[in-house]
Amino acid sequence: METITTVAGLRACVRKWKQAGDRVGVVPTMGALHEGHLSLVHAARAQADRVIATVFVNPIQFDNADDLETYPRTLEADACLLKGAGVDVLYAPTVSQMYPPGFATRINVSGVSEGLCGGTRAGHFDGVATVVCKLLMQTLADRAFFGEKDFQQVQVVRRMVTDLDLPVEVVACPTQREADGLALSSRNRRLAPHQRQIAVALPRIMRACAADIAAGADIPAALTQAAGQLADAGFEPVEYVELRSELDLQPLASLSGDAPARLLAAAWLGDVRLIDGMAVALPE
């Protein structure tokens, strides 16, 4: 595995691959890698000839300076994991390489970036869309792999790729979970042991809520009940528990066969913000 830190170096490498007819897959990450990221690398390995993993803690998607400061940075360990997973190139640009002095562009994807995580994190999805667009243009990837845990992020990237005619296929991969059901996240490592015990209530309560809705429960009542159960379990604050269309992230007042539905939630344990999401299917 080669580590590249400049746009020029990456372009030279990708040019050779493209000349040889290789299809390129990219897995964008902010590092602090876990099995969830590696599942994206495995998917990329299976669906592309060459795999680039990017590690870049993107300052413009953080709305909180402390969060950016404390975001885990574990490049050496990340490099070992990526090498073991068969990545061809680790692309780890510096902040000044990505955002040189004078950088002034932001991509704003309206609609799907509003509400949910976009409701409380000002500018977050502009930062995500901007960096993902740059990474796609820099890597010239044919396919880009993202985790469904960040469901709204996937929809924002899909909308941007469609709207800007970017020649890349966005591949969404299923959420990876711990044995007890907690969705894998780089933030989990910041949970104290007692918080880790509480954290498992998030997928448990969401699963029960999804099952109630699928069985015909009143949707607003089921969502309110789940938010209350999360608060009782120790989450503070519970930011949202919502049922949205998987297609355009519009709120859903009822289930129908035409619009696949997804239950989405965000809640805090101390200074750790956890999110999760799961499909809600009508019974067969």
Minimum Å gap between C-beta 54 and ligand PAF is 7
Q: Structure tokens of 83?
A: 């090498």
Task: Output the smallest distance, CB 21 to ligand PAF, in A.
Answer: 28
Q: Which is nearer to ligand PAF, 53 or 223 (CB)?
A: 53
Q: Is 186 annotated as a binding residue?
A: yes
Smaller CB separation from ligand PAF, 61 or 175: 61
Rounded CA-CA distance 205/208 in Å is: 5
Is 58 or 113 the residue whose CB approaches ligand PAF more closely? 58
Smallest gap from Cβ 22 to ligand PAF, in A, equals: 23
Query: Hey, is 104 helix, strand or coil?
Result: coil
Residues 3, 89: Cα–Cα separation, whole Å: 6
Q: Which residue is associated with the tokens 């992230």?
A: 249
Query: Residue 68 CB, nearest distance to ligand PAF (Å)?
Result: 12
**Catalytic-labelled residue, pool 37, 42, 124, 194:** 37
150 is an annotated ligand-binding site residue: yes
Q: Are 58 and 94 in contact (CB under 8 A)?
A: no
30 is in an annotated binding site: yes
For residue 270, say whether it is annotated as part of any ligand binding site: no
What are the contacts of 78-82 at 24+ separation with CB within 8 A?
Answer: 78/29, 78/31, 78/32, 78/33, 79/1, 79/3, 81/33, 81/37, 81/38, 82/1, 82/33, 82/41, 82/53
Residues that bind ligand PAF (CB under 6 A): 28-30, 58, 61, 128, 131-132, 150, 153
Is residue 37 flagged as an active site residue? yes
Token digits of residue 236: 């503070």
Query: For ligand PAF, which is the closer residue by CB, 139 or 229?
Result: 139
- In three-state form (DSSP H/G/I as H, E/B as E, the rest C), the secondary structure along 225-256 is HHHHHHHHHCCCCEEEEEEEECCCCCECCCCC
| Residue 149 in marked binding region | yes
Annotated binding-site residues for (R)-pantoate read 61, 153
Annotated binding-site residues read 30-37, 61, 147-150, 153, 184-187
Annotated binding-site residues for ATP read 30-37, 147-150, 184-187
List residues with catalytic annotation: 37
